[in-house]
Amino acid sequence: MIGGKVRRHRRIGDRVFSNLTLFFAFVIVAILIGMVVALNIDAMPAIRKFGLDFIGGMSWNAVTEQFGALPAIYGTLLSSAIGLVIAVPISLGAAVFLVELAPRWIRGPGSFLIEMLAAIPSVIIGLWGLFVLVPFVRDYIEKGWIGQNLDFIPLFRGPPFGLGFLTAGLILAIMVIPIITAMSRDVMRAVPTSQREAMLALGATRWEMIRRAVFPYCRSGLVGAVILGLGRALGETMAVTMVIGNKYTLTASLFSPGTTIASKIAGEFGEATGDVFIASLVELALVLFGVTLLINVIARLLVWRMTAVKGAQE
């Protein structure tokens, strides 16, 4: 009798727990849908006026109320790409060192210091970039050997101000390195020790063990870490706003000032007047949301494909 009551209470508890977690999952979906609906409502004046031309528009003129998002989209993708090109090798190298090569007395403090970098507010990193990184880029890169000898290449042609896509990319790299490093370290730690030992027992060197046993096993996790860092780079606002120069233009030069979607919204939303101007900024936010969503969907499909290929090979 007592055992039956206990089992009945357990079943009730299981149902309550299951329904409660289902409710929380629906709350998250509802918040996401609510954000999209609210942004669409606020952006409707710009959507009705510009339509799809907003995506390919080149101008941003508050006086004539002509707005386009292409330079901001371009700046967002370019600065994020620069940040990832710099951050991914450094992050993977640091993760490999902490997991596979570092002595035990270094692993703990090293991991702590890297994670502390992620806790620094972006406005502080932006100020550091403005007073330290901008003069460095201006004096040693733009006015240095690269700027003087490679200016015939469009990538390295531009005014030596220090403010621009290159500096913004360096700032983003500094901000995403701790995220990618921490996640990469965790997924590498999940690789079974027996897999490493088996590879070493076959006569592999330490590097061959890492390349053939560790990386293939945690490849999908490493891709996820990179995509998480890319998501941080796409949405970063204050630090990028301080160092990118905020010039609304399309250019191939890494030295040229530019803008991103997030920096454009942050720089002008407080002073925006008129329904179309405000709606255009909100539509920029929708565009950023769409770009982030698209990149995450592509990354998820890539991870699923890699997992499926790995399962088929096994």
Q: Mean pLDDT over all residues of the chain?
A: 86
* pTM (2 d.p.): 0.87
**pLDDT tier at 170 (50, 70, 90 boundaries)?**
very high
- 49-63, 79-93, 96-110, 219-233 — most confident range: 79-93
Once rounded to an integer, what is the mean pLDDT over residues 71-97?
A: 93
Note the pLDDT tens digit of each residue in 113-139.
888 888 888 889 999 999 999 999 999
pLDDT at position 103 is 85
Note the pLDDT tens digit of each residue in 268-300.
888 888 888 999 999 999 999 988 888 878 777
Once rounded to an integer, what is the mean pLDDT over residues 19-41?
A: 90
Note the pLDDT tens digit of each residue in 180-210.
998 888 888 888 888 888 888 888 888 888 8
pLDDT at position 306 is 64
pLDDT at position 271 is 82
DSSP the chain: -HHHHHHHHHHHHHHHHHHHHHHHHHHHHHHHHHHHHHHHHHHHHHHHHHTTHHHH---EETTTTEE--HHHHHHHHHHHHHHHHHHHHHHHHHHHIIIIIS-HHHHHHHHHHHHHHHTS-HHHHHHHIIIIIHHHIIIIIISSHHHHHSTTSGGG-S---S-SHHHHHHHHHHHHHHHHHHHHHHHHHTS-HHHHHHHHHTT--HHHHIIIIIHHHTHHHHHHHHHHHHHHHHH--HHHHHHSB------S-SSS-B--HHHHHHHHGGG--SHHHHHHHHHHHHHHHHHHHHHHHHHHHHHHHHHHHHHHH-
Given a cut of 70, whether residue 8 has pLDDT beyond it is: no
